[in-house]
Structure 1
Amino acid sequence: MALKEYKPSQAFNGVIGRTFDVSEPSWPSPNRAKEGVPNVLFIVIDDTGYGHLGCYGSPINTPNIDALAADGLRYTNMHTTSLCSPSRSCFINGRNHHSNGMNCITEGATGFPGGNGMIPFENGFISEILQQNGYNTYAIGKWHLTPANQVSAAGPYDRWPLGRGFERYYGWLGGDTHQYYPELVRDNTQVEPEYGPEDGYHVNIDLAEKAKAMIADAKQVAPNKPFFMYFCTGAAHAPHHVPAEWADKYKGVFDDGWDAYRERVFKKQKEIGVIPKNTKLSRHDPDVQDWEKLSADERKLYARMMEVFAGFLEHTDHYIGELLAFLKDIGEYENTLIMLVSDNGSSAEGGATGSVNENKFFNNVPDSLEQNLAAIEDIGGPKYFNHFPWGWTHAGNTPYRRWKRETYRGGVSDPFIVTWPKGIKAKGEIRTQFCHGIDMVPTVLDCLEIDPPEAIRGITQSPIEGFSLKSTFDDKDAEAVHRTQYFEMFGHRSIYHDGWRAVCPWPGDSFTEAEHEFGEMISNDMLTELDAKGWELFDLTEDPAETTNVAKDNPAKLIEMIGLWYSEAGKYKVFPIDSRTTIRLAEERPQIAAARDKYVYYPGTQTVPSSVGPRLLNVAHSVSVHVTIPKGGAEGALFTVGGNDGGFCLYIKDGKLTYGYNYVADQRFTIRSDDKVPEGDHVLSFEFEPTGEADVAKGKGTPGNISLFFDGEAAGEGELPVTIPIQFGLAASSIVGCDNGSPVMLEDEYKPPFTFTGQIHKVLVDITGESLEDKEHLIEAYLKAAMARQ
């Protein structure tokens, strides 16, 4: 006899008698999905341009992604926001990025509704919707959707993946991570990789294994229960990390340079039909160096940087392929709706010359050709946080102009593949209808025949702002339903409407031609001037790559488009326009804890993100560590901030207290105590005292003196001629008792995790500016008492 059930929202429909023999049981029915609905898999790749994938004309080998396209549809008119967090918010809930409070990455949030970095709960995630409809929900890899000041162990956790409808999570919460030493979170807890790069670890491998395991865990118990997986690689975002054998596959492939790459890809794109036959290749960008005028050393270096990038992308494709092969092995591939998309165009954060440390970009630090050349054999390995130069950025966006962070098509036109063997008859076809990242969620809901919910967990939902693409699946001539779309990023504005595109570039068509500096703030008067003179107009039916500005010939159309942009901007919370860039990273934001000038940290705890820690840049500060040194001495890291892209570490080596400082991997400094640290209970300290002014615009924080102390007594000193001005790193954290992950100092100093072999009791970080030399009886009067008051 079948079990009797009733919906949990309805009344009990069994029979309750005086005793069991005269009663009839009935059970609240489980939350089951409709029979036969597909699994849903979003694969989000990072910083991958329109001309990077093999199936979009690239010479880079992406056979698994190409096979996915051959099994489904390639869209040639997909658009994103031009930046990662904003685009990802669109992918996951179907609303525009300003509607999601995401006018920038989470680290650049500002105090306005369109940019505060806090995605409203009324903008429900697809994970929340599908979980309510009987799906298992998993998030893997990059997240970057939680406010930067809420990613610590203090939470709140309601905007972490598990707070937004995901049942399981494994990945990193920030914008990028070291691919060999990632800062990982499992569900709501920080974890370390299970092995290191010396044993073959790479985060691509790890993510694929964890993704397969999550699916298998549930399918072996409930094979009919569908899943939604949000699978986000670190690739092809910097650092471009890949084992050398993958990069070596491309030796010599890019020796003819980025302009040759563009010509080759452009020709192939026309052959395979991913650009119209009438497309003209956009110009050689004025900010890109002329390959033919480069020195032999420069060409060698830049070609190797691209070889590493290509190997990284192929490596990523391989492990995406492992996930897809697993779905085939367990019989789930045919009924899985798969959408693969990049979050923006290729990235320009490596600068004109490329970099062995992307963090230089975020600190306004210029790169050094000599330093980069010296690193050439190690690029792609765990030692560096490397990124290629603008020439390869532009080439990766072929045939379009410009790149990530800007709203020309090079920044916002991206690969998009949709495959669903059981649900889409067409195979290997191309779709040209205009679409945007906000269209992914409504398309899924349409395919699953799920109406957007009126409420999620009691919160009334806002309207979804995207459009379903389902009508295009089996009809290449279906009418495009997404007819109008605004764009804005760092003051760079554009709008699409019915085949026309208007663009108001900021600070100009290129940095070379601009009258203003990148990151300069647009004033109200400047915006008026830009609206009067700065807009360009392109007829995409005749000029898909935006090569010819026809504004003068179509003044009425231009005025119409500008007015439409303002209408859309008002509707979706775009104002105020904020063109500031790296300076936003230092903006003060609300914190969970009250402001204070003393911070206490403990051993055995999770790392503390810099967004919720003390501000240690360009200010006087000290760190004091209460330790017990065993007989025979101890060694290891006492307190660490940052990693191989920038930071500092207080540690004991060869018995001596040492302060190591990493200035964005450009220079490293060590200051050691004169004598060895004595055995027993002690307070070991350093003090940083500024000796000059910072020059943030030129990438220089305040210089300073470092003084070392044993129990308040001077033990050594040294000088830091330059320091980091803006941030230690996008994912910089503080940790007590080790330097795990990518190490602050080089291997000739120590190897991670460099765990301290004595005992650490507590750590006090002090930003009062008071000198340690003014404090007597440091252990009792200063450290212990101060900690007791916390």
Structure 2
Amino acid sequence: MGLTEYQAGSTFPGRIGRTVGESDPAWPRPNRAVPGAPNVVYIVLDDTGYGQFGCYGSPINTPNLDRLAQNGLLYTNMHTTALCSPSRSCMLTGRNHHSNGMACITEGSTGFPGSNGAIPFENGFLSEMLLPHGYATYCVGKWHLTPAEQVSAAGPYDRWPLGRGFERYYGFLGGDTHQYYPDLVFDNHQIEPPKTPEEGYHLTEDLADRAINFIADLKQVAPDKPFFLYFATGANHAPHQAPPQWAEKYRGMFDDGWDAYRERVFARQKELGIVAQDALLSPHDPDVQQWDELSADEHRLYARMMEVFAGFFEHTDHQIGRLLDYLDSTGQLDNTLIMVISDNGASAEGGPYGSVNENKFFNNVPDDLEQNLAAIDELGGPKHFNHYPWGWTFAGNTPFRRWKRETYRGGVADGFIAHWPAGITAKGEIRHQYGHVVDMVPTVLEALGVDPPTAVRGVTQSPIEGVSLAHTFNDADAPTKHHTQYFEMFAHRSLYHDGWRAVCPFPGTSFAEAGVSFGELELTAEQLRELDATGWELYHVDVDPAETNDLAEQERPRLIEMIALWYTEAGRYNVLPLDSRGTVRFADPRPQVSPARETYVYHPGTQVVPENVAVKVLNRAHTITAEVVLNDTDEGVVICHGSNIGGYTLYVQGGKLHYVHNYVGAQEFHLASEEVIGAGKRTLAYEFEPTAEPDIRNGKGTPGHARLSVDGTVVAEADFPVTIPLSIGIGGGLVVGRNAGSPITRMYTSPYTFTGTVEKVIISVAAPQPHDEAEVKRAEGRIAMARQ
């Protein structure tokens, strides 16, 4: 006898009598997908420029992405928002980034509807839309869509992946992470990586393993159930890290520099039909050094930085290939709609000279060429947080102007590939129709035959703001349906409309020409009026894709109409107010789960406390007091905060009490007791008393007098000449009883778990030292921006 099913919420169609024998059962119908419904996979790369994909003309070897293009479609006219979190919010909701409250990354949120960093629940995620249609939903990799104040174990969890329609999650919640010692979250809790770097661990490989496992778990039980996988690598965001053999493939390939790279890639783009034969390459950027004017040592270092990046990208492509091979070997590849996208153009966070340790940059500690050259053979390994200089950023966005964070096409034009053999008959073709990441959700919904929901979990939904690209799948000549698109990022504005782009750069067309650095100038009402009168440029991008010929004077009536249209779109999508404070805005006060206090209590066996909610000990008097029980042979970390590029650690080794302050990876200040601690219940303490004011502008935190004590008796003391001025660094967090992540000191290896018992650790802090508040805000902004 067959089952009777009915739609949940409708009238029960069975019969209910006094006994089971007198009754007829019926069951609420489970959510099932339409037979033959395709799987959906987003592959989201980070900070990858248009001219860095192999299939877009780059010499970087990306065979797996290339094969998706060769068996699918390569789009030449796809766009993002110029920044990480805003773009990701668009591709998952189908709404514009200001509609999502995501004008910036969440660390730069402000108290306005278009910028508060909290994606409204009326803007449902694709995961939430597909669940009622019988899809399994998985998120693997980078998230960066939760307000920064809500990513600790204190939650709330409603804007974590599992709160936005994903059934399983494995990855990292922030903007970036160490590739060898990542900050990992599994579903709603932190975990440690399954292996060490010495055992061959790398994050991208781990993410591919986990994605494959999630799918295998599903298919062995329900082989016909489709899935949506959001696969977002940490690559190619800094730190550029990959096993050395991958970079070695590129030895010598970039010795002729970034201008030669641009010429080669541009010529190849013409051969491939990505740009027209008569298209022009954008000129050399004023902010980029002339390769021929650099020293031999600079050539050697900068070329190596690019070799490491190329190896990083090819390594990432290889892991993507493992996922594709799994889908192919299990017969799923043909009926999987795969979309590949980067979240913005190539990144300029490395600065004009690049860096081998971004934490120095964050703390105003200058890199020098000699120190960087000393690290050249270890770049790409776990010791360094390396990022290439602006020249390679500009080259990575060939043929376009500028880069990430700016709304010239170098910041917003991105590679995009669609692959679905069961639904796209065209193979290896190019599509030139205009698109934007808001179009990805409606494209998927049309391909699946699914209507946008009117409500998600009882919340009435806002209209989808993108348009579908599905009509272009099998028709190269299909008309563009996306006619108008605004752009705004840190008051840098532009508008696309029917083949034209109006651009209003701020603070100028380059930092050199503007005379200021990013985020140093706050846009005033008077400056805005002047910009609207004289600051807009106009490009006919249908014939001038690289924005080389400004037609603002010749086409003045058209430009005036487009400026007016930009303001219309700004009003529609909550773009205003314009906020150019690229660094200072990150120090704005925001609602906190728990306010700052003078006493913090931490316990062993708990999750790592993220940097943004951990106690702040820099530039202030503080005391760390640990209650422990140990015997004569116990050792390990009592409490630590940071990583190998900066932080502090209190530990027991050789029966003695030790403390190390790691000054931005450049120097370690070590304090140790002369006598052994002795077995029993002990109170271990570290005290720091500042002796002068910090010199934050020059990268020097407050000097001070440091003391170690056991049961109230001082056992060691010393003067520290300098401490970390601003940021303990990326990764590591604060944790009791072990060193999660990379080791803070060279005197032990992670995790160096304490073999005794830590009962609790109390950290008491006094008021911070006087300092240059404006410089602190600028530095905090640089840190947040580099992590996007």
Please indicate the TM-score interval, normalised by the length of the shorter structure: over 0.9
What do the CA deviations read for 1:513-546 (whole angstroms, capped 9, x no partner)?
Answer: 2133321122333323322332222121232101
Which residue is 2:749 aligned to? 751
Structure 1 residues 557, 98: closer, same or farther in 2, change over 3 A?
Answer: same
Cα offsets for 1:452-471 (capped at 9, x unmatched): 11111111111111111111
CA distance in 2, matches of 1:323, 1:140: 12
Please state if 1:623 is matched with 2:629: no
In 1, distance between residues paired with 2:731 and 2:523? 29
Please say if residues 82 and 404 of structure 2, whose CA atoms lie closer than 8 Å, have aligned partners that are also in contact: yes
Mapped partners of 1:760, 1:525: distance in 2: 59
Distance apart, 1:618 and its partner CA: 3.1
- In 2, distance between residues paired with 1:577 and 1:709? 53
Query: Are 1:605 and 2:603 an aligned pair?
Result: no
CA contact (8 A) 1:363 1:582 kept: no
Structure 1 CA distance for aligned equivalents of residues 529 and 366 of structure 2: 33
Is the contact between residue 631 and residue 678 of structure 2 (CA under 8 Å) also seen in structure 1? no
Measured at CA, do residues 768 and 479 of structure 1 come closer, stay the same or move farther in structure 2, by a change above 3 Å? Answer: same
2:741 aligned with 1:724: no
Q: Which residue of 2 aligns with 1:355?
A: 355
Deviation at 1:161, TM superposition (A): 0.5
Match of 2:773 in 1: none
For the residues of structure 2 that align with 1:245 and 1:38, how far apart are their CA atoms?
Answer: 37
Give the TM-score, by structure 2 length. 0.94
Q: Distance in 2 between matches of 1:622 and 1:584?
A: 31
| C-alpha displacement of 1:113 | 1.9
Structure 1 residue aligned with 2:642: 642
Q: Aligned pair in 2 of structure 1 residues 346, 357: CA closer, same or farther (>3 Å)? A: same
Match of 2:376 in 1: 376
What aligned pairs does 1:254-653 form with structure 2 within 5 A after superposition? 254-520=254-520, 521-632=522-633, 634-653=634-653
Distance 1:553 1:726, change over 3 A: farther
What is the 5 A alignment of 1:152-301?
A: 152-301=152-301
Letter in 1 for 2:293: K
**Range that drifts further, 634-643 or 716-725:** 716-725
Residue 762 of structure 1 corresponds to 760
- Structure 1: distance between partners of 2:697 and 2:78: 36
> What secondary structure sits across from 1:564 in the alignment?
helix
Q: CA deviation at 1:145?
A: 0.6
Secondary structure of the residue aligned to 1:181 is: coil
Q: Give, as a single letter, the amino acid of the residue that structure 2 aligns with 1:150.
A: Q
Quickly say closer, same or farther: Cα 1:530–1:679, change in 2 above 3 A: farther
Cα gap change, 1:726 to 1:569, in 2 (>3 Å)? farther
Q: How far, CA to CA, are the matches of 1:343 and 1:770 in structure 2?
A: 38
Q: Is the 8 A contact 1:174 1:730 kept in 2?
A: no
Contact 1:335 1:421 in 2 (8 A): yes
Shift of 1:721: 3.6
TM-score, normalized by length of structure 1? 0.94
1:325-354 deviation per Cα after TM superposition (whole angstroms, max 9, x unaligned): 111111111111110000011111111111
Q: CA contact under 8 A between 2:435 and 2:482: conserved in structure 1?
A: yes
The answer as to whether partners of 2:618 and 2:701 remain within 8 angstroms in 1 is: yes
Q: 1:606-648: per-residue Cα shift (whole Å, max 9, x none)?
A: 011122222333333222111123124x322221112123222
The range that moved more, 22-31 or 321-330, is 22-31
> 1:750 & 1:584 partners in 2: Cα distance?
39
CA distance, structure 2, for counterparts of residue 66 and residue 608 of structure 1: 41
1:218-240 superposed Cα distances (whole Å, 9 cap, x missing partner): 11111111100000111111111
Q: Name the amino acid aligned to 1:679.
A: A
SS at structure 2 position matched to 1:235: coil
Give the deviation of 1:731 after TM superposition. 4.2
Tell me by how many angstroms 1:673 deviates.
3.5
The alignment-based identity, stated in percent, is 63
For 2:136 and 2:226, the matched residues in 1 are separated by 6
**Cα offset for 1:663?**
3.0
Q: Following the alignment from structure 1 to structure 2, what is the Cα–Cα distance between the partners of residues 395 and 282? A: 10
Quickly say closer, same or farther: Cα 1:752–1:731, change in 2 above 3 A: closer
Per-residue deviation at 1:698?
A: 4.5
- Give how far 1:703 is off: 3.7
CA contact (8 A) 1:658 1:673 kept: yes
Q: Is the 8 A contact 2:179 2:241 kept in 1?
A: yes
Per the TM alignment, residue 40 of structure 1 is displaced from its structure 2 partner at its CA by: 0.4
Kept in 1: contact 2:620–2:768 (CA 8 A): no
1:560 counterpart letter in structure 2: E
Change (3 A) 1:710 1:273: same
Residue 512 of structure 2 aligns to a residue in which SS? coil
2:632 and 2:678 in contact (8 A); partners too:
no
Q: Which amino acid aligns with 2:390?
A: W
Distance 1:79 1:247, change over 3 A: same
8 Å contact kept, 1:78–1:434: yes
Going from structure 1 to structure 2, the CA distance change for 1:452 and 1:196 (only over 3 Å counts) comes to same
Moved more, 58-67 or 26-35: 26-35
Gaps of 5+ in 2: 770-788
2:95 paired residue number: 95
Maintained 8 Å contact 1:101/1:117: yes
Which residue identity is paired with 2:165? G
- AA of the residue aligned to 1:758: G
Give 1:102's aligned amino acid: M
CA displacement, residues 86-121 of structure 1 (integer Å, 9 cap, x when unaligned): 111111111111111112222222222222211111
Mean Cα deviation higher: 640-649 or 416-425: 640-649
Question: What are the superposed Cα offsets for residues 57-77 of structure 1, whole Å, 9 maximum, x if unpaired?
Answer: 000000000000111111111
Deviation at 1:177, TM superposition (A): 0.9
Could you tell me which runs of 5 or more consecutive residues in structure 1 were left unpaired when the two chains were aligned: 772-790
Q: Within 2, Cα distance between the matches of 1:492 and 1:88? A: 19
Q: Contact between 2:732 and 2:740, CA under 8 Å: does it hold in 1?
A: no
Deviation at 1:144, TM superposition (A): 0.7
Contact (CA 8 Å) 2:140, 2:171: kept in 1 or not?
yes
- Take 1:360 and 1:582, find their aligned partners in 2: how far apart are those partners? 17
Give the Å deviation of 1:290.
1.5
The answer as to whether partners of 1:652 and 1:658 remain within 8 angstroms in 2 is yes
Q: State the secondary structure of the residue aligned to 1:51.
A: helix
Q: Which residue of 1 aligns with 2:12?
A: 12
Change (3 A) 1:83 1:663: farther
**RMSD over aligned Cα, in angstroms?**
1.8
Q: In structure 1, how many angstroms separate the alpha carbons of the residues matched to 2:696 and 2:536?
A: 32
Distance (whole Å) between structure 2 residues aligned to residue 574 and residue 621 of structure 1:
43
Task: Number of aligned residue pairs: give it.
Answer: 768
Quote the Cα distance in structure 2 between the aligned partners of 1:715 and 1:304.
47
Counterpart CA distance in 1 for 2:600 and 2:691 is 24
